[in-house]
């Protein structure tokens, strides 16, 4: 058999897209999943375009989600996330994806994994990657997830029905601590220079560094940033050092094998900036300007988990983010300017004893089912004998 076919749904969640699988449609032996996902997405592409699969050649379009009913109390579904690289065979499950979390609730409803009653629902999602709960609240339309609405997301053409995502207790999902080093700022030395950074773990572990410390304005668009190879190399060196400092990896080599976390964010003071759609963001409409690097690539919008971490960091006294946002009332959302527009994020953070605790963080997204049916997986790099049991 030259190819297997596996039931799948292709969905947009926020500013990302992913293949969505039911757990029961995949091999029981999870060590077989990476090769299957690589073939389905078209990863390991030396041209970086993923033309031979469902991916889009950038990190936000190179994702897989696996959904199943949950055995946990007070939980509806379990959500497993996998980030694939465009140019190698790395399949990283160390991090979560907040954008694709927006698609999980609608998927669960439309696939019959949860019971529906009325015109609104809250789907309780357990993210296996981070061991954290996400509450997804959205409207229903004749028993299915509503699609049409008036919420416009920066980076997504058109509008859609709003999905409110609340991430409960988002701190420490990747490292066990909201502030992995116990400090709001640290210094990391790399390539003969020292950089002041803030390392925060909320949603996903992130390391924040000032754009000006790397000779940048902070408002550069992704295509421009991609041309600054020396800057990207320095940022990757900072990220690797932060991975060890945060306890994610024991050494630099191990950190290199975990490309998904920590994510790295360039931050700068509010300033007029131009988006990818040539619109101007005025400095009085944002609290900071941010450029996120995800899996080595400048992100064209804003990863949700990065936005959550930024908002939480903005509420922790002394972080680099807080130094920019501390005048923002805690009752108001933090407004983050990014290459596609402005995202507003709420975060509830309190000081407990000598430390900080993030109670919750929330954001609004949209999602849409794009296609369902089967995805075809080439058997060229698969141990075919292990796939007979799933009836492909």
Q: pLDDT of 94-153, one tens digit each?
A: 999 999 999 999 999 999 999 999 999 999 999 999 999 999 999 999 999 999 999 999
Helix, strand, coil shares of the chain, percent, nearest 5, are 25, 35, 40
**264 and 345 inside one domain:** yes
Tell me the per-residue pLDDT of 174-187, one tens digit each, with 9 for 90 and over: 999 999 999 999 99
Going by C-alpha positions, the residue among 392, 355, 391, 381 that lies closest to residue 32 is 381
pTM: 0.93
Total count of domains within the chain: 2
In a domain, 58, yes or no: yes
pLDDT for the residue numbered 88 = 86
Return d(Cα 56, Cα 109) in angstroms, integer.
27
Q: Which residues of 127-155 are buried (b: 16+ CB within 10 A; e: fewer)?
A: bebbebbbbbbbbbeeeebbeeeeeebbb
What is the span of the domain harbouring residue 77?
3-162+368-390
**332 and 383 inside one domain:** no
- Is 178 buried (19+), middle (13-18) or exposed (0-12) by CB count in 10 A? buried
pLDDT at residue 392 greater than cutoff 80: no
Mean pLDDT of the 328-342 span: 95
pLDDT range class, residue 294, cuts 50, 70, 90: confident
In a domain, 170, yes or no: no
In a domain, 177, yes or no: no
Strands 132-141 and 144-145: antiparallel
Cα-only R_g, the chain = 20
Mean pLDDT of the 161-177 span: 97
**323 and 217 inside one domain:** yes
Tell me the per-residue pLDDT of 189-222, one tens digit each, with 9 for 90 and over: 998 899 999 999 999 999 999 999 999 999 999 9
Q: Half-sphere exposure (CA, 13 Å, Cβ side) for 124? A: 10
pLDDT for the residue numbered 244 = 98
The CATH number for 56's domain is 3.10.310.10
Tell me the per-residue pLDDT of 353-389, one tens digit each, with 9 for 90 and over: 889 999 999 999 999 999 999 999 998 877 665 655 5
In a domain, 171, yes or no: no
Return d(Cα 349, Cα 351) in angstroms, integer.
7
Going by C-alpha positions, the residue among 94, 97, 261 that lies closest to residue 165 is 97
In a domain, 154, yes or no: yes
Return d(Cα 152, Cα 150) in angstroms, integer.
6
In a domain, 175, yes or no: no
pLDDT for the residue numbered 295 = 84
**353 and 373 inside one domain:** no
**234 and 298 inside one domain:** yes
In a domain, 173, yes or no: no
- In the DSSP assignment, the letter for residue 90 is -
247 neighbors 180 (Cβ within 8 angstroms): yes
**19 and 137 inside one domain:** yes
Tell me the per-residue pLDDT of 234-287, one tens digit each, with 9 for 90 and over: 999 999 999 999 999 999 999 999 999 999 999 999 999 999 999 999 999 999
């Amino acid at each position: 058999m030259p190819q297997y076919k596996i039931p799948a749904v292709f969905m947009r969640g926020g500013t990302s897209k992913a293949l969505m699988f039911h757990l029961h449609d995949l091999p029981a032996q999870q060590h077989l999943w990476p090769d299957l996902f690589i073939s389905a997405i078209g990863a390991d592409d030396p041209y970086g375009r993923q033309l031979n699969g469902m991916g889009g050649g950038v990190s936000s379009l190179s994702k897989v989600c696996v959904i199943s009913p949950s055995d946990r109390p007070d939980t509806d579904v379990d959500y497993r996330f996998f980030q694939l690289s465009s140019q190698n065979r790395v399949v990283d499950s160390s991090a979560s994806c907040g954008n694709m979390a927006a698609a999980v609730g609608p998927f669960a409803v439309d696939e019959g994994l949860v019971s529906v009653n009325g015109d609104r629902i809250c789907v309780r999602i357990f993210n296996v990657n981070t061991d954290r709960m996400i509450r997804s609240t959205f409207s229903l339309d004749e028993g299915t997830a509503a699609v049409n609405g008036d919420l416009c997301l920066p980076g997504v053409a058109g509008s859609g029905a709003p999905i409110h995502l609340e991430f409960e207790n988002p701190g420490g999902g990747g490292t066990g601590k909201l502030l992995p080093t116990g400090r709001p700022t640290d210094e990391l030395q790399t390539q003969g220079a020292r950089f002041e950074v803030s390392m925060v773990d909320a949603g996903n572990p992130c390391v924040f560094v000032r754009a000006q410390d790397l000779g940048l304005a902070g408002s550069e668009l992704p295509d421009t940033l991609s041309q600054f190879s020396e800057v990207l190399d320095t940022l990757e060196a900072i990220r690797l050092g932060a991975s060890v400092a945060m306890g994610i990896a024991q050494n630099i080599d191990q950190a290199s094998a975990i490309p998904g976390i920590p994510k790295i964010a360039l931050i700068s003071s509010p300033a007029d900036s131009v988006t990818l759609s040539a619109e101007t963001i005025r400095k009085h409409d944002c609290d900071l300007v941010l450029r996120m690097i995800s899996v080595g690539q400048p992100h064209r919008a804003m990863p949700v988990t990065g936005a959550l971490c930024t908002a939480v960091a903005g509420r922790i006294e002394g972080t680099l983010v807080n130094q920019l946002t501390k005048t923002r009332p805690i009752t108001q959302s933090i407004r983050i300017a990014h290459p596609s527009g402005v995202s507003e994020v709420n975060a509830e953070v309190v000081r407990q004893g000598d430390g900080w605790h993030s109670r919750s963080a929330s954001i609004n997204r949209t999602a849409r089912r794009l296609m369902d049916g089967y995805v075809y997986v080439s058997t060229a790099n698969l141990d075919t004998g292990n796939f007979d049991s799933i009836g492909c």
